Amino acid sequence: MLFLVRMDVNIPHDLPEAQAADIKAREKAYAQALQHDGRWRHLWRVVGEYANYSVFDVASNDELHTLLSGLPLFPYMKIHVTPLAQHPSAIA
């Protein structure tokens, strides 16, 4: 199942820098592991925002929820999920 996910990140300004840096490093490692195993198919930055659009390829809604809630930055994110279906005019 494919899902388009928009993630907007809002790290509190009063979070200690060392703690924020640790969270970001863990986030990067987690995201890259999911990309390597094929479940995080695309990751695109939104220009001028601390946000991204991503495409996930997972078996279920529950799997996607588990992956997203496992993100180290999850407590600081607003997430919008759009399930995707094959378009009848698509050639791929």
Looking at residue 12, its pLDDT comes to 97
User: 74 and 5 in contact (C-beta within 8 Å)?
Assistant: no
Cα distances (angstroms) measured from residue 85 to each of 4, 29, 60: 10, 29, 13
Domains and CATH numbers, the chain: 2-84 (3.30.70.1060)
Rounded average pLDDT over 10-31:
98
| Rounded CA separation 32/55 (Å) | 13
Neighbours of 40 (CB within 10 A): 20
Each residue of 45-64: pLDDT tens digit?
A: 999 999 999 999 999 999 99
What the block records as the tokens of 71 is 């993100």
What the block records as the tokens of 11 is 């790290």
Each residue of 2-16: pLDDT tens digit?
A: 999 999 999 999 999
